[in-house]
Structure 1
Amino acid sequence: MTGNQIEFFDDIYRKYYKMMYDVALRIVKNPEIAEDVVADTFLVLITKINAVIEHEQPVKWLFRVLKNNALNERRAQSAHSAVPLDEHLAVAAADNLTPFSGYLPNGLSEIEQKILTLRLSEDLEYVEIAKIMNMTENACRMQYSRARRRCAELLERQKNT
């Protein structure tokens, strides 16, 4: 990421993290999952940072992605979802040719890269990722949470260099 992109990301993060967490928590009703939803949203922002910087309403875009992520998570939690999520709520596919892994910082293990890619780029549920990676769903959630934290740490270090 360039200096301008890092500055943009940092500004958005500092100004809106708490508000985003509160919105996600109201939707998913679970503090840990709300944190995951917000982190997922910021990782989506990283992958589409150039488009968001040029967007006429970047904060509105960010909250739309947050809402979509939170609703997807709530739907996944609900075993008997009566109303399917409308397709127009899904996050638009990336319009560039850079693979998702190209947006991840250097220093992530192969497993961390794989789980982040499956969850964020492939939009797979934890149960599906757990099967692919031959682990329990709880282990998958924990691995994802750790990978997300590690990614954030590496991005923070990268920003400060």
Structure 2
Amino acid sequence: MFLKPILIHNKDLLEQCKLGNERAQMEIYRRYYHAMYNTSYRIVKDKFVAEDIMQDSFLIAFTKLDTLNDVNMFGPWLKRIIINNSISAYRKNEKNQEVALEEVLYKVEDDQGVEEDYQWSTIKAAQIIDCMKSLKSNYQLGLTLNLIEGYDYEEICDIMNISYANCRTMISRAKESLRQKLKPIMDH
């Protein structure tokens, strides 16, 4: 007769993590690793750097777990740590940036509404992500945070350290640039 494994809720595991229980920490790591690794990798685009960020971020999370007021918010809290560390690593490793981000963006309000095209839904996500890789680095980062990670403009402003107007303009231009790159794919 086989014993059924007992599923322990994250809340209980996190309480054990606070007490320094390494098995609980490993279980939390196992549960969150894949999603958080993918988040980091989409930003830094280097599997080894993403691995390092994972290790550092989980270490930070486990050592600062007492500062988390609601253990039910562990996932979003950890994701924020991962994203902040990934962006920091991305900025450090960006070798070809010759012009500051603020100099590239213009303080122009974009009042144009963006209509969703039904053809977009037929394009495979992989094709969109491949096209995103060909965009300027700040466009890639902005679209990744907005479209893939689901951050709103205010959160992206904080993460990228830009004004709200610059953020709206950058994302609008990034979407338009992506549309132009996807146009040949949509026309086929």
Tell me the TM-score range normalised by the shorter chain. 0.3 to 0.5
TM-score scaled by length of structure 2: 0.40
TM-score scaled by length of structure 1: 0.46
